Structure 1
Amino acid sequence: MTTNNATFRTEMIEAREAPNQSRGVIGWLRANLFSGPVNSVISVLVILAVAKIAWLALGWAVFDANFLGSSREACTGDGACWVFIASRFESIIYGFYPEAARWRVDIVFALLAILIAWLAIPRLPQKKWVALFALVGFPILSWILLLGGVFGLEHVPTRAWGGLMLTLTIAVVGIVGSLPIGIILALGRRSKMPFVKGICVLFIEFWRGVPLITVLFMASVMLPLFVPGNIEFDKLLRALVGIMLFWSAYMAEVIRSGLQAISKGQNEAGQALGLTYWQRMGLIILPQALKLVIPGIVNTFISLFKDTSLVLIIGLLDMLAIIRAGLTDTNWLGFSTEGYVFAALIYWVFCFSMSRYSQYIERRLNTGHKR
C-alpha cells in the first residue's frame, strides 16, 4: 500500500497570535473597567457603591412602597407612597379637561405615537407623506379635537387644559415651529443682503439676550397690547408664540454652525451646475449641514421640552404644576418626594428617547469612510 506524502506536513506550524479577547462582554470589561490593578480596584469600589445605592432606591421605590389605596392611610410602609400618584393620575395626564371629552385627548396621543413610530421605523413606507401629515395635518386635526366647538364637539377652552397633554402640546408645537424658523434665520444671517442680515442678527441677539421667563411674561402681558381690543388672544397661543420665537433664535445659531462647516466648494459646485440659490440650499447645503448638527438640534429640543414647566408663571398648569398643586392638598402633605420623582421619571423618559433616537439617526446618516 502506498502512502500519499502530500497529505502530511513535513515542517512545524508557525507560531500564531493569541485569540483576540477584546470582543464581547468580557473584552469590554477588560478594556474599560479592569485594564490594570488600580483601575480594577476603583471599578470594584464604584460597582459596590452603585449597587448599594440602587438597592436602597429599589427598596424605597418598589419593595417597601405602597401602590394600592385611595387615601394616605394606605401608606403604611417605610417606602414610597405611590397611592398619591395613583389617586391624581388622571389630573396629571389630562389636567382639568372634562372627563366626558377625554377620549379626544386619547385619540391625539394615539395619533402622535403612531406618527412617531411610523417615522422612526425604517422599513415602513410612504414616509414623505406621513411626515407631511405630521407637519401640517396633525396639528390642525389635534387643535380641532382638543379645542372643539366644531363638528358637534364640545368646546373646551385652553384654560381647562393641563397636565401631560399641555406639556406635550407646548413641546410639539415649539419643536415643529422653531426648526423651520431657525433655518430661515440661519440662512438670513448668512445672507449677503445687509438689510436681511441685519434683521436676522437683531432678532437672534434680542431673543437670546432675554430669559424665557421674561419672554413668557411679555407674551402674556404685553402682546395683547399690540392686538385690537375686539380680538381675544388666547393665553396658550401667546405662550406658544413666545416659546417658538425664543427657541428659534437658539436653533438658528445651531444650524448656522452647520452651514459654516460646509466648505465653499459645495456651493460653487452647485453654481457650476446652474442651480439656483434655493436649489443649492435645499439639495446640497442644508442636508449636509443638518446632518452635522443633529446633536445640537436634539439638545435644543430637549431643553425646550424641559422648559415647558415655566408656563406655570403665566397661569398654565402643565404636568409638574399639577403635581405641585396636588401637594398643597392637606390630605397629601409630606409626599412631595414621590411627586417630584414621578415628574422627573416622565421628563427623563421623553428626553432619553429623543437622545437615543438622535443617535440612531446619526448612525443611519453617517456617510463617512470607516477603516
Structure 2
Amino acid sequence: MLKVTIVAGARPNLMKIAPIVHSIQKARSDNIKIDFRLVHTGQHYDQNMSGSFFEQLEIPKPHVNLECKGGSQAEQTAKIMIQFEKELISNPADLVLVVGDVTSTMACALVAQKLFTKVAHVEGGIRSNDWTMPEEINRLVTDSITNYFFTTSETANTNLKKSGVDGSQIFFVGNTMIDTLMKQRPNFKKPQIWKDLQLSNGNYIVMTLHRPNNVDEQCQLRDMINEIIANTRDLHLVFPVHPRTQKILKRLNIDHPRLHAIEPLSYLEFNYLVERAKAVITDSGGVTEEASVLRVPCLTLRNNTERPETITLGTNELIGTDPKRLKSYLKILFNGNWKKGHDIPLWDGHAADRIVECIKNI
C-alpha cells in the first residue's frame, strides 16, 4: 500500500488538495493500492476562512490538526516542524505531498526530508522573484529540497530547469485549484449580501486586499480604497475583509455608501460573486487564477506576479501598488475594452487525476 501524507495549512491549500483527495479515493475504489492521511497544520483556521471549506469541497475532516496557529513566522515554522515531526514518526509515509507556498509547505517539506521521506510539491516552480514576500522564500526553500514537482505552467517548468532540476522530476499537470473551481461551479451559492444590496450581474465589483504592501500602512490602504471609490462610478464595492486587513480598516473609519466591508465568505459564496462581477480588484494570486478561468476582468494590486499566464492568456492585469495607476485601467474597463482571455493549457479540471497517475507510477 502506497501511503501519502497530504499537508494543508491555510485556506488556499484546501482548494488545491480537495481534488487530489477525490482522485485518490477514486483510485482506491478501482482497487489501486494507495491511501492518504490528511494533516492540517492549523496555521490558519477559523470557521469562515477554513472550516466551512471541508463541507463545501467534500473533503473529509483531517486525520489530525496540529494546531500551530499564531506567533511570528519563525515561531510558527518551529511549531509546525516540531508537531509534524511527531506526526510523521507516528504515521510514516512513502510520500509527503505539500501544496502552494505557505509556511506549512516549507516546514513540512523540511521535516519530511530529514526523516528520509520523499517530497512532492504541487504548484512547484512558480516565482515572483520578489524576496520581500514570505511566500517566495517558502517556494525557493521547498523547491530546493523537493523530489517531484507537479507544475501549473510551462513557465514554472522553465524556472525549475534553470535552477538545476532534472526534467525527469518535473510533471506538468495543470492547476488543481481550477479542478475545484470547475467541479464546484454548478454549486456556487448566492450570499446574503446579494439579496441585501439587490445585486445583479455586472453592477458591482469584488475587492480583496491582504498583502502587507497594501494593508500594513494605514495611508496606503486609505489611498487605495479612496482611489477605487473615486473611479468605479456608481457600482457597489463588495469587500470581504481578510482578518489581517480588518484591524487596519477599523482604524481608518472609511464610510461610503457604495463600500460594503463584510465578513469573509465561504468558497461557494465568494465565487458566486466573482463569476457575476463587473470586475475583481485583488492582491491575491489565487483569485487571479479563478477570475481568469471565469473570464472576469481582474485588476491585481501588486508589482509582480508568480502567475504570468493569468496576464498573457487570462483576464488579469498587473496594476502595481501605486493607487494612482488604477484610474487608467478602470477607464479601459468601463469603456468595454478589457481583454477577453483565452484557455490556459491544462487548466481543464483534470490536474489531480494526472497527479495521482504520476504518484502511482513513481
- Relative to the length of structure 2, the TM-score reads 0.23
More strand by share: 2
Higher Rg of the two aligned structures:
1
